[in-house]
Amino acid sequence: MQPPGKRGLVPAALIVLVLLLGSGVAALTRHDTDAPVRYLTDDQGRALFLHGLNTSGSAKDDPDHLPWITEEDVQTEYDAMGTNFVRFLIQWQALEPEEGVYDEDYLDEVAERVDWYAERGYHVLLDMHQDLYGRFTNTEQHSGNGAPEWATRTDDLPVRPREQWELVYLEPGVMRAFDHFWGTAGGDTDLMDAYADAWRHVADRFADEPAVIGYDLMNEPFGGSLQGTDFEAGPLAELYRRSMERIREVDQDTWIFVEGQAVGVNWGLPSALPHLEDPREGEPRVVYAPHMYALPMDLGQPYEGDSKGGIDASVDAWSEHVRLVGERLEAPIVLGEFGLDMSGAGAPEFVERMLEETETMAAGRTYWSNDLDGWGPWEEADDGGLAPGPLAHVMNRAYPRAVAGEPLGWGYDAEAGELTVRYTERDGVSGATELYLPSDVFGEGHEPTVVLGGDGSWNAEWDEGMRVLHVTVTGAADGDETVLTVTPE
C-alpha cells in the first residue's frame, strides 16, 4: 500500500488487524517441489522476463489522472536502465466519471503513452489503481484514489484525515464504501458488476495493441470489514471471475494479473486467493502479481546492521509463500511493487536483494515507482534534466528479456559481469534469446562473449543501440538443456 508520494510507517492499528485476521489465513502446503517454472510467453512462444518500474504515483494527484512523463522521459528511462516493462496506472474515476459513461479522451491519452513505450519495445501492464477506495469518501476529497463519486457509498459515515495515511483505511466511511463495493453491506454487488464492465471497456480498447501484455485487475485489494480467507476466497475471487469473463468477451490473448489482499500479504503472510479458471480458449493466461514491503522496513528499520537479518528473513518468508500461491494458481509470478526511500541506509543493497530474489524465482518485477522523489531513479542534472540516481544504477542490470525455450533459471554476477541463463529446448518456439547487457560492464572495448553449454551451435547479433544481444542456438533437440553464459570480452 502506498500514498501518492512516499510510504509512511505502518501504524499499529493495521498490525493489530493483521494479527486478528491471521487465524483466518489459509495454511499453504507445497504439493510439488519439482513443479516447473511458469512463465509469460510472447507470440513466438519465448519465455518473457519483465523488468521495469511503475508509472507512476504522480497520476494519483494529477488533474488529468496521467503520469508526469513525456516521450523523451521514456527514452531516458530505457537508456539509463534497459527496462522492458511498465506497470501503467489507470483509475476507475478517470475511466468512468459518470455511471455507464466512459471518457474516451482519457483513454486516448493513455493510448498515446502506451505508444511511447511500444515504440521502444516495452511490455505494458495496465493497472486499475486504488488507495483508500477513492477520493470521494469525504467532502475534503482526501488523498485516496480509484473509485468515481457515483460508485462511492459511505452512508454518511465519517472519514477523518489522518497524519498516517494508512489509518484512513480504518475510517468508518472508507470501510463502509468497501463493504458496499464487495456486497457485504446489504448483499448488492452492482458495483462489482460495474467495475467488471469497466474492465471490458478497457480490454475492448487495447485488445489489438500488442504492447499491452496484461491487465492488473485491482491494486492492493482491501476487504473493508471482511478480511483474510473469507475475503480472498469470497468477494475478491468473485470480482476477479466477473472481470475475467467480461475481458474474455473482447480479448482472448492478453494476460490477466491478480493480487491477494494487501494487508498482511504485502509483508509476507500467505494469500488465500483460490485457483481461478481463465475462460479463454486454450491455455490459461493468469499471472499472480503480489507486492512486497518488508514489515521491518515499514516499521522504520534500515537494511543494515542487526536489522538486516530480520529483513532477509521477512523476504524469505514472502518468497516461499508467493511460490506456493503461484503453484496453487498455476500461474507465473510478477512482483508488482517493491520500493523504499533510496536515501535510507542500505537502500541500494535491498533493491539488489529483491532483484536477486525474483531471479531465483524466475519472476518479473516492477519497482515503485519512477517518480521524481526520493523513491525514484532520478536526480536533477546540471542542465535541469534527469540524471540517473542510485536506484537507476542498481536497476541497470543484465537480464534475459526473452528466452527461446523453457527456462530453468538464471542469475547475474554483477561483480564479474557474468550473466548465465539455463533453459530446455522446446519445439514450436521461434526467435532468438534476447539478453540485455548494461554499458557500464559491456561497454566500449568489452564486447559480449558467449559460451554455450549443451548440444548445438550458436550465433549472435549485437544491437549496440538497444544493448541487446540476440543469441540463436541451432542443432539442439527438444528437451535438451542449454546453458548460455555471457561475459565481457
**107: its cell numbers:** 483513454
List Cβ neighbours of 199 (8 Å cut-off, separation of 6 or more): 128, 215, 217, 243, 246, 247
**Across 117-146, average pLDDT:** 92
- pLDDT value of position 162: 86
Is the domain spanning 12-397 CATH 3.20.20.80? The answer is yes
Q: Give per-residue burial for 252-262: e unless 16+ CB within 10 Å, then b.
A: eebbbbbbbbb
Of 333, 349, 242, residue with least CA distance to 294: 349
**Across 321-333, average pLDDT:** 96
List Cβ neighbours of 136 (8 Å cut-off, separation of 6 or more): 93, 147, 148, 149, 152
Pick the residue with more confidence: 13 or 151? 151
Residue owning grid cell 488533474: 63
Tell me how far apart the alpha carbons of residues 114 and 126 are, in angstroms, rounded to a whole number.
Answer: 9
Pick from 96-105, 132-141, 176-185: least confident: 132-141
Tell me how far apart the alpha carbons of residues 441 and 444 are, in angstroms, rounded to a whole number.
Answer: 9
- pLDDT value of position 266: 93
**Across 365-370, average pLDDT:** 98
Res. 14 pLDDT band, cuts 50 70 90: low
Q: Is the pLDDT of residue 161 over 90?
A: no
- pLDDT value of position 200: 98
Burial classification of residue 37, based on how many CB atoms lie within 10 Å of its CB (0-12 exposed, 13-18 middle, 19 or more buried): middle
> CB of 215 within 8 A of CB of 90?
no
Res. 485 pLDDT band, cuts 50 70 90: very high
- pLDDT value of position 414: 87
| Helix pair angle (347-361, 306-329), 10° resolution | 30
In one letter, which amino acid is 429? Answer: V
What are the tens digits of pLDDT across the range 195-241? 999 999 999 999 999 999 999 999 999 999 999 999 999 999 999 99
CB hemisphere CA count around 323 (13 angstroms): 21
Strands 364-367 and 378-380: unpaired
What are the tens digits of pLDDT across the range 387-403? 999 999 999 999 999 99
Q: Is the pLDDT of residue 376 over 70?
A: yes
Residue owning grid cell 503453484: 327
Tell me how far apart the alpha carbons of residues 194 and 459 are, in angstroms, rounded to a whole number.
Answer: 52
Tell me how far apart the alpha carbons of residues 454 and 459 are, in angstroms, rounded to a whole number.
Answer: 14
Q: Is the pLDDT of residue 483 over 50?
A: yes
Tell me how far apart the alpha carbons of residues 230 and 459 are, in angstroms, rounded to a whole number.
Answer: 54
Instruction: State the span(s) of the chain assigned CATH 2.60.40.1180.
Output: 409-488
Residue owning grid cell 500500500: 1
Pick from 139-143, 205-209, 278-282, 362-366: least confident: 139-143
Q: Is the pLDDT of residue 24 over 80?
A: no
Tell me how far apart the alpha carbons of residues 433 and 425 are, in angstroms, rounded to a whole number.
Answer: 11
What are the tens digits of pLDDT across the range 37-64? 799 999 999 999 999 999 999 999 999 9
DSSP 3-state helix, strand, coil percentages of the chain (rounded to 5)?
35, 20, 45
Q: Is the pLDDT of residue 408 over 50?
A: yes
* Phi-psi region at 247: left, alpha or beta (left = phi > 0; alpha = psi -120 to 50): alpha
Res. 482 pLDDT band, cuts 50 70 90: very high
Q: Is 390 helix (H, G, I), strand (E, B) or coil?
A: helix
Percent of the chain with pLDDT over 70: 92
Res. 27 pLDDT band, cuts 50 70 90: very low
- pLDDT value of position 22: 44
Q: Quote the mean pLDDT of the chain.
A: 91
Res. 180 pLDDT band, cuts 50 70 90: very high
Res. 489 pLDDT band, cuts 50 70 90: confident
Instruction: State the span(s) of the chain assigned CATH 3.20.20.80.
Output: 12-397
**Across 106-115, average pLDDT:** 98
409-488 CATH choice from 2.40.440.10, 2.60.40.1180, 3.30.572.10, 2.60.120.280: 2.60.40.1180
Tell me how far apart the alpha carbons of residues 178 and 406 are, in angstroms, rounded to a whole number.
Answer: 41
